[in-house]
Chain A
Amino acid sequence: MDFILTGLLNALALLTGGDSATWSAVFATIKVSTISMLLSLILGLPCGFCLGYFNFRAKRALRTLLDTLLALPTVFIGLLVYAIISSQGPLGNCNLLFTLWGIAIGQSILAFPIIAALTASTVESIDPQLELTLISLGAGKKDIILTSLWEVRYGILAAAVTAYGRVMTEVGISMMVGGNIKWHTRTITTAIALETGKGMFANGIALGLVLVTIAFGVNLSLAFLRKK
Chain B
Amino acid sequence: MRTLIHHSAMKNMRKKIKTAISVIVIVFMTMFFCPSMTTLHAEENSLMMATTTSTDNTGLLDYLMPHFTTDTGIDIKWTATGTGKALKLGSNCDVDVLLVHAPAAEQKYIADGFGKDRTEIMYNDFVIIGPENDPAAVKGKSVVDALETIREKEAVFTSRGDDSGTHKKEKSLWKSTGKDMPEKESWYVQTGQGMLATINITEERKGYTMTDRGTYIKYNSQKNGNAPLKVLVEGDGILLNQYSVLTLNPEKCPNAKYDLATKFAAWMAGESAQNLIKEFRLLGEKLFIPNAK
Contacts and interface: CB of A to CB of B under 8 A. Distances in A.
A101 B79 contact: no
Interface stretch (A45-53, A115-123, A143-151, A162-170): A143-151
A105 to B, nearest CB: 12
A184 B20 contact: no
Nearest to A151: B13
A30 B32 CA distance: 9
Contact of B10 (A97, A147, A199, A200): A147
Nearest to B6: A137
A225 B135 CA distance: 63
Q: Bin chain B's interface residue count.
A: 35 or more
Contacts of A143: 6, 10
Nearest to A160: B24
Given A95-B42, A146-B10, A150-B17, A199 B32 contact: no
Nearest to B203: A199
A96 B13 CA distance: 41
Contacts of A100: 40
A137 B94 CA distance: 61
Nearest to A198: B196
Interface residues of A, number: 40
Interface string A33-62: 010001000000000000000000000000
Interface string A131-147: 00000011100010011
Contacts of B17: 146, 149-150
A98 B194 CA distance: 20
Given A86-B93, A137-B6, A198-B218, 16 more contacts: A31-B32, A34-B32, A87-B92, A87-B93, A87-B255, A95-B41, A138-B3, A139-B10, A147-B10, A149-B17, A153-B20, A196-B197, A197-B196, A199-B200, A199-B219, A228-B16
Interface of A: 20, 23-24, 27, 30-31, 34, 38, 86-88, 95, 97-101, 137-139, 143, 146-147, 149-150, 153, 179-184, 196-200, 221, 225, 228
12 contacts: A34-B31, A87-B92, A95-B41, A99-B40, A138-B6, A146-B14, A150-B16, A179-B79, A196-B197, A197-B197, A198-B197, A228-B16
